[in-house]
Amino acid sequence: MRFRDRADAGKRLAQALKTYQGRDGVVYALPRGGVVLGAEVARALGMPLDLLIPRKIGHPLQPEYAICAVVENGEMVCNQHEVARVDPQWFKQEVEAERQEARRRRELYLGGREPAPVQGKTAIIVDDGIATGLTMEVSIRDARRRQPAHLVVAVPVAPPDTVERMSREVDEFVVLDRSPYYLGAVGAYYDYFAQVTDEEVIALLRSAAAEGRVKKHGDS
């Protein structure tokens, strides 16, 4: 399965999630790329759009290879075998630096806006795809901490073994590409997969918030 771009993938995800339309819930996107899909899903389902902000910790000799992922509150998911082989002081500094970066991004993207309440509601975590799975795993833990009644992960693509493993951690795992053969990189499934900018993220979040205010005013 191929997607023209993230917006196309988001529209297809929204269609796959249409059973949640009208439910009381929150769509959580993982920035930056996931926000494009999350905006499409939130709009289609009539839910507010919020963020979960996991940060990768790359191996010191191969920064693109994630050995751990952390969120703002310090929750972590790690490849313990790899973490055990790096300098503990370096690792501690990297964890704190990425926690601070997650907080900085929340302020940049949301400008101090309060998190959307999700306790007792449906939480849908959206990203543009899954590779190692570390950032999604820590995001699931972050979402669970907020006490939703029903937790869903929705992505266009993910390795089959990752889908099988993570499906046990959520109430529903929605993946559009069900092929048993993973192409090795999320971008391989997209015709256009340019990096999403901070400005694009901010614009999408502002647009979603404005749509939410209009909907709320219209319902009142």
How many Cβ atoms are within 10 Å of 213's Cβ, its own excluded? 10
Cα distance between residue 203 and residue 172, in whole Å: 29
The answer to whether residues 70 and 100 touch, using CB atoms and an 8 Å cutoff, is: no
pLDDT at residue 101 is higher than 90: yes
pLDDT of residue 217: 53
Q: Whole-prediction pTM value?
A: 0.94
**pLDDT tier at 132 (50, 70, 90 boundaries)?**
confident
pLDDT of residue 216: 62
89, two tokens: 């002081």
CATH of 6-52+117-219, one of 3.20.20.220, 3.40.50.720, 3.40.50.360, 3.40.50.2020: 3.40.50.2020
The answer to whether residues 20 and 37 touch, using CB atoms and an 8 Å cutoff, is: no
φ, ψ dihedrals at 82, nearest 5°:
-75, -40
pLDDT of residue 77: 95
**pLDDT tier at 218 (50, 70, 90 boundaries)?**
low
Residue located via tokens 């839910």: 47
Q: Give the model confidence (pLDDT) of 55-67 as tens digits.
A: 999 999 998 889 9
3-state SS class at 28: strand
The domain locations on the chain are: 6-52+117-219
Mean pLDDT of 24-41: 97
How many Cβ atoms are within 10 Å of 201's Cβ, its own excluded? 24
Q: Give the model confidence (pLDDT) of 160-202 as tens digits.
A: 999 999 999 999 999 999 899 999 999 999 999 999 999 999 9
Nearest to 130 by CA among 101, 95, 169, 84: 169
pLDDT of residue 36: 98
Mean pLDDT of 60-84: 93
Q: What is the identity of the amino acid at 124?
A: I
pLDDT of residue 211: 83
